[in-house]
């Protein structure tokens, strides 16, 4: 039997370089990147077997970027969510943010919660945007909620406290670097990893289809034998 890609996670990298290659400002790459998010989400919502799409949009480390770029990203996220609400609803997509959004402005938090609530009845694809997300931060927050438990802590207990409670099947990183940059370290324990040189604004549903096809043929052993 072939593998089913139920949970796909993507590190959407390469926006800045894409823009610079065209002599444009880095932020232009983020703008085009947001359009690709819409395309890939719609594609996944119409593809059998895919239940979850988790996209790395802003890491706990991305605050190190120049203030203007961070401000632009916050504004873009707000506009994206407001504009795309109708697309989420049309495609029966439920929006579920992960990460510690308490660091964002009150108004951005309000937009995030608004889209989460308005799509909470959707029972198609779950699209998670990782916002001020860091896997280490997520694990630390989970352990802190468990620290007063008298019993020994189990993997299941930790998993239940994470923002993202589902194991990843396919983890893709665009942009040519071969690293995880603090993304879903726990959940990707047995994920199949795909690294592509394609910069995120150039990523297409066609390339995603190819990756899924490759994935279906992989022999996943989970430590056992076939
Ligand atoms: C990914 O693209 C988007 C975010 C991290 C917000 P980058 O902005 O990291 O683009 P490059 O890697 O510098 O090209
Ligand atoms: C990872 O990309 C974070 C997101 C895609 C949101 P980065 O560009 O921040 O990662 P590094 O700095 O190359 O590791
Ligand atoms: Mg990058």
Give the Å distances, CA to CA, from 156 to 53, 54, 87, 135.
22, 20, 34, 17
Q: CB burial class (10 A; 0-12, 13-18, 19+) of residue 53?
A: buried
Q: Is 70 in the pocket of ligand 2 (CB under 6 A)?
A: no
Q: Which of 13, 132, 169, 182 is catalytic?
A: 13
CA of 73 to the centre of ligand 1 (A): 11
Query: What is the chain's alpha carbon radius of gyration, rounded to the nearest angstrom?
Result: 18
Write down the pLDDT at residue 20.
98
Going across the sheet that includes 94-95, the strands are: 94-95, 126-133, 52-59, 7-11, 170-173, 192-195
Write down the pLDDT at residue 62.
98
Q: Are 130 and 183 in contact (CB under 8 A)?
A: yes
**Domain presence at residue 35:** yes
Q: Are 61 and 182 in contact (CB under 8 A)?
A: yes
**Domain presence at residue 223:** no
DSSP code for 28: H
Write down the pLDDT at residue 121.
98
Structure tokens at 105: 């402005």
Q: Which residues of the chain have pLDDT under 50?
A: none
Write down the pLDDT at residue 1.
77
Q: Is 191 in the pocket of ligand 2 (CB under 6 A)?
A: no
Site to probe by mutation for ligand 2, drawn from 14, 33, 73, 181 as the one with most ligand atoms within 8 Å of Cβ, is: 181
Write down the pLDDT at residue 170.
98
Please give the residue range of the domain that contains residue 41. 7-217
Strands 94-95, 126-133: pairing is parallel
Q: Are 211 and 194 in contact (CB under 8 A)?
A: yes
Q: Would you call 62 a catalytic residue per the annotation?
A: yes
Write down the pLDDT at residue 21.
98
* The dihedral sign for the CA sequence 26, 31, 37, 43: negative
Write down the pLDDT at residue 226.
83
**Domain presence at residue 79:** yes
**Domain presence at residue 222:** no
CATH of residue 194's domain is 3.40.1180.10
* 41 CB-side CA count, 13 A: 29
Q: Are 206 and 36 in contact (CB under 8 A)?
A: no
Say how many domains are in the chain: 1
**Domain presence at residue 224:** no
Q: Which of 62, 92, 137, 167 is catalytic?
A: 62
Q: Is 118 in the pocket of ligand 1 (CB under 6 A)?
A: no
**Domain presence at residue 174:** yes
CA of 44 to the centre of ligand 1 (A): 22
């Amino acid at each position: 039997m072939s593998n089913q890609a139920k949970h796909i996670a993507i590190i959407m990298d390469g926006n800045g370089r894409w823009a610079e290659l065209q002599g444009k400002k880095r932020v232009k790459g983020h703008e085009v990147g947001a359009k690709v998010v819409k395309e890939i989400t719609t594609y996944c919502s119409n593809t059998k077997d895919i239940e979850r799409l988790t996209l790395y949009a802003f890491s706990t480390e991305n605050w190190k970027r120049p203030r203007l770029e961070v401000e632009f990203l916050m504004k873009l996220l707000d506009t994206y969510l407001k504009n795309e609400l109708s697309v989420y609803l049309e495609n029966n997509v439920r929006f579920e943010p992960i990460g510690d959004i308490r660091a964002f402005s009150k108004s951005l938090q309000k937009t995030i919660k608004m889209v989460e609530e308005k799509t909470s009845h959707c029972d198609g694809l779950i699209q998670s945007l990782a916002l001020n997300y860091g896997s280490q931060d997520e694990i630390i927050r989970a352990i802190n909620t468990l620290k007063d438990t008298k019993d020994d802590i189990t993997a299941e207990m930790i998993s239940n406290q994470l923002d993202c409670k589902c194991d990843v099947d396919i983890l893709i990183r665009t942009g040519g670097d071969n690293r995880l940059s603090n993304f879903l370290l726990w959940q990707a324990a047995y994920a199949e990893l795909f690294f592509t040189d394609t910069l995120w604004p150039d990523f297409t549903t066609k390339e995603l289809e190819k990756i899924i096809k490759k994935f279906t043929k992989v022999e996943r052993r989970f430590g056992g034998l076939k």
